[in-house]
Amino acid sequence: MSAIPQHADLMICVGTLITPNGAERADIACRGGRIVALGALKGRWTADTTIDATGLHVLPGVIDSQVHFREPGLTHKEDLEAGTRGAVLGGVTGVFEMPNTNPLTLWQADLQAKLDAAKGRAWCDYAFYIGGSGVNAEQLQTLESLPGCAGVKVFMGSSFGDLLADDNTVLKRILRHGRRRMAVHAEDEARLKERKSIVEASGDVCQHPEWRDVDSALLATQRIVTMAEDTGRRLHVLHVSTAEEMQYLARHKRCVTVEVTPHHLTMAAPECYQRLGSLAQMNPPVREQRHQDALWEAIRKGVVDVIGSDHAPHTLAEKAKPYPQSPSGMTGVQTLLPVMLDHVHAGRLSLQRLVDLTSAGPARIFGIEGKGRIALGYDADLTLVDLAARRTITNDWIASRSSWTPYDGKVVTGWPVHTIVRGQVVVRDEALVGAPEGQAIRFLETPDKKTSPFELPQPLRVKNS
């Protein structure tokens, strides 16, 4: 007598899954927003919705742990709806958003306002950083534990007002008040002020990496890592851009995790500035080829933990201002996965390693609950990609309110086809479907734990027959 088939909300059939065991051909059943069965499920499960994943690779949902969606206060550049719409079109299922909005995200009310604004408008799941500052340092341990908070973000340079934390005394206060991993933008503000006259005199954007030179990054990174080690605080250094920083950070991995960005891995000076002008202007800068080579070597050696986009849009009119009045920042959340899949196609890294850097890595180091891997009981966040698909990235494809990408015209191999957030199909056959039903990302009560305490919804592992 045959068993009665079990029923799922969604089934992904005959895809090549990238799991902790490597690549394996299997089906996935999703129910109640979570993965409830893996294996050969045909005839044993039925579903309301089925996706044929033949020829596709199924990745754990991509998590972009550094985006600037500009809401509130700067929504002419970007907002939560457009930013998350671009995210899911690019295969991203979760984002961490930064605190340099207007008003700044410094207090519980600021965080709650962002959470309220995201409800019913965000296409993917989300969390928001609290800015670490001299005005809230003693409250950070409470603030970082609030639901929907990704942790504390500190700007040692390239910021303004209460969000700039370049003084050692303030930095130590911030480091001592909290226990979660703290993210930092490490550029030495004093050196940046000292050297700005170089570009004010020339007005040449090609000198952007000369103004914000290697030492401005290295000095700040060395300073914050030393203080973190002294205070016993875990640290996450964002958008590392220099060979010298990577050499230093490789010796301090006990308490430090490292992020790199697609633009630092893909573009190189001076060519990018000659071709794109201020559209290539980011902080820290895109640098010469030797630095890009060092970032790739750091990926190969395991120094790098995460790839984040640092999606930071400005309008084309703002970017057209004479340098250095032009603002630094570019779009990136929607192109993160296509650009990195193209690197996979070129043989620069394996698909398994990419998954570690964009799914498992963020979940591991930030203590995200129930995300980052394809496993029973985990959220059904899935990114289905066609590794053989050739596409051209264009400005017309970009959902951002800023409506441009530095990769306009770039041909890539590897493309996101379907995006699934907690079992809800939000992109199917490269087109947006459904409604924005993103939720706040959950974090483990103890971020150091290696497993999640959440209840598993009747998981079942079906053996291949």
Catalytic residues: 310
Residue 258 CA: distances (Å) to CA of 37, 95, 306: 34, 17, 6
Strands 125-131 and 149-155 come out as: parallel
Angle ∠(13,335,378) on CA atoms, nearest 5: 40
Rounded to an integer, what distance in angstroms lies between the CA atom of residue 431 and that of residue 95?
20
Q: Which candidate, 369, 390, 351, 404, places its Cα nearest to that of 58? A: 351
Q: Give the sign of the dihedral formed by CA 409, CA 412, CA 418, CA 423.
A: negative
Take residue 429 and report the two structure tokens written for it: 């056959």
Evaluate whether 260 touches 239 at the Cβ level (below 8 Å). yes
* Amino acid at the residue 418: H
Q: Give the sign of the dihedral formed by CA 346, CA 351, CA 355, CA 357.
A: negative
Q: To which residue do tokens 């794109």 refer?
A: 276
Q: Give the sign of the dihedral formed by CA 159, CA 214, CA 269, CA 294.
A: negative
Rounded to an integer, what distance in angstroms lies between the CA atom of residue 398 and that of residue 370?
29
Evaluate whether 369 touches 452 at the Cβ level (below 8 Å). yes
Rounded to an integer, what distance in angstroms lies between the CA atom of residue 201 and that of residue 197?
6
Angle ∠(264,270,275) on CA atoms, nearest 5: 90
3-class secondary-structure state, position 350:
coil
Instruction: Give me the helices (H) in 212-288, please.
Output: 214-231, 243-249, 262-266, 271-276
